[in-house]
Amino acid sequence: MPKLIRFNAFQMNTVSHQSPGLWTHPRDNSHRYTDPDHWTELAQLLERGRFDAIFLADVLGVYDVYQGNADAALRHAVQAPLNDPLALVPLMSQVTRHLGFGVTCALPYEHPYTFARRMSTLDHLTRGRIGWNIVTGYLDSAARNLGMNQQLSHDERYDLADEYMEVVYKLWEQSWDDDAVVNDKERGVYTDPSRVHPINHEGRFYKVPGFHLSEPSPQRTPLLYQAGTSPRGTAFAARHAECTFVSGPSKKVVKKYADDLRAAVRAAGRDGGDLKIYAQALIITAPTEAEARAKHEEYKRHIDIEAALALLSGWTGVDFSRFPLDATIEYIDSDAGRSALASFSQADPDRKWTVREAAEFIGLGGRGPVLVGDPRQVADQLESWLDDTGIDGFNLAFAVAHESMRDVVDLVVPELQQRGRYQRDYSPGTLRHQLFGRNRR
Ligand SMILES: Cc1cc2nc3c(=O)[nH]c(=O)nc-3n(C[C@H](O)[C@H](O)[C@H](O)COP(=O)(O)O)c2cc1C
């Protein structure tokens, strides 16, 4: 039987996430991000489309690398202003039963003790539908506003992340025995103290002597997502991630990421299939091919090159205002994210990108491909991406909120279901159970 195609929705609690400039489209509703109905409507739509999860990106800084200031980011609403993603989860979980929530939290800026409790709380309140996208951050501005001179170096952030995971696993998995909560009204005992254990963690970065404040939640450890395809990022994913996000402009780039990730997972002693890989993509579809192409052209007119370069500069740590638009992108080592630049400069030796081409490319749907066509053509492309690259599904960005997602749910999902390549219904249980058939890590 062919492998099912899985969908996540790639979103952020902001105006302009992955399609810089598209907020100016007359049908776009991204400016409604402060309205709770904007999110509950989206959650219900995605659940109708049997999406695995809504994935909420987040950063704790501003995109101020371009021209050395945040003016372009603020002017064009490039991931600024930006609200807290976690607050959206209870809203959306109240109006859905199965949709999962993958929430990004940058670990250098959250103490593991308080963060572990926040995740356990959300796992309780969503009945086991919370996931955590583990990120180490890439914006120096985040570090500066949290009292550091600059962020830790790229690889040191991953050293910190390794210890952070040790602490949160101890809190989530080892601190409370399964039968610690007895809830015995007759005896007047809620928790048996002998079954709750201090974790006694003392490491290079953290000291946490006590026990976890929350009682065990349905999944205990939230479903773990990770994105980051540098060698250190891949090694980290191999040890911890259950789902991973990759972004690349071509099948060739994405296949390489997928192959490397599965090899690393196997080298870490896990089964290659223990990792679900979602590739970023944007779908532009309509009932006919001509309408879909016209929609694509119409969307393209709203791409803002300066906004796209502000985004790319923030991701890479390289100020792209210093290069002419026709200059070719070469790899420059930086302490921000390494894969963003590598995907344009190194991953595909057959292709040289100019700055303008890269800006136009990320202008619609970020660093993933744009799949355009009628529902059958899009389904063909999705199938061939999945089959040729070895990924498990797609992390779908949008151009116009919520039109892009509505088009996918109403047009593409039924086509894929008819082909037997997309789930018709959810199975009961936690988010981890949906994906891996078990509740616990
Ligand atoms: C699809 C995708 C989504 C990401 N989302 C976020 C995010 O929301 N917040 C964040 O700080 N980093 C995010 N990242 C960045 C990664 O977590 C990572 O920090 C970055 O890719 C640099 O790591 P690397 O050099 O190992 O690739 C994302 C990366 C990818 C590929």
CA distances from 437 to 131, 274, 304, 441 (A): 15, 11, 43, 11
Grouping H, G, I as helix, E, B as strand and the rest as coil, residue 293 is helix
Gap between the Cα atoms of 275 and 366, Å rounded: 23
CATH fold of 6-436 reads: TIM Barrel (3.20.20)
Q: What's the token pair of residue 439? A: 């509740």
pLDDT in tens, the chain (441 residues): 789 999 999 999 999 999 999 999 999 999 999 999 999 999 999 999 999 999 999 999 999 999 999 999 999 999 999 999 999 999 999 999 999 999 999 999 999 999 999 999 999 999 999 999 999 888 888 888 888 878 888 889 999 999 999 999 999 999 999 999 999 999 999 999 999 999 999 999 999 999 999 999 999 999 999 987 788 889 999 999 999 999 988 999 999 999 999 999 999 999 988 999 999 999 999 999 999 999 999 999 999 999 999 999 999 899 999 999 999 887 655 555 556 666 676 656 677 889 999 999 999 998 899 999 999 999 999 999 999 999 999 999 999 999 999 999 999 999 999 999 999 999 999 999 999 999 999
Answer whether 0.75 is exceeded by the pTM. yes
- Residue 76: CB partners within 8 Å, gap ≥ 6? 16, 20, 21, 304, 306, 307, 310
Tell me the CA–centroid distance for residue 227 and ligand 1, in Å: 5
Q: Which residue's C-alpha comes closest to atom 6 of ligand 1?
A: 57
Q: How far apart are CA 288 and CA 375, in angstroms?
A: 8
Q: Is the dihedral of CA 24, 50, 55, 212 positive or negative?
A: positive
37 CB-near residues (< 8 Å, 6+ apart)? none
From the list 435, 433, 430, 248, the residue with the least C-alpha distance to 346 is 248
CA dist., res. 318 & res. 405, Å (int): 32
At 111 the pLDDT is: 96
Length of the chain in terms of residues written = 441
* Pocket of ligand 1 from Cβ distances under 6 Å: 57-59, 104, 106, 135-138, 227-230, 232-233, 245, 247, 280, 337-339, 395
Q: What was the pLDDT predicted at 14? A: 98
| Residue at 226: amino acid letter | Q
Rounded to whole angstroms, how far apart are CA atoms 146 and 68? 19
Nearest CA to ligand 1 atom 13: 135
Q: What are the structural domain ranges in the chain?
A: 6-436
Q: What is the DSSP string of 84-139?
A: -STTHHHHHHHT-SS-EEEEEEEGGGS-HHHHHHHHHHHHHHTTS-EEEEEE----
Q: Do the beta carbons of residue 329 and residue 348 sit within 8 Å?
A: no
CA of 440 to the centre of ligand 1 (A): 25
Cα-to-centroid distance, 326 and ligand 1 (Å):
27
Distance 135 CA to ligand 1 centre (A): 6
CB 334 within 8 A of CB 316: yes
The Cα 259–Cα 254 span in angstroms is: 9
Q: Identify the residue whose tokens are 């109240």.
A: 94
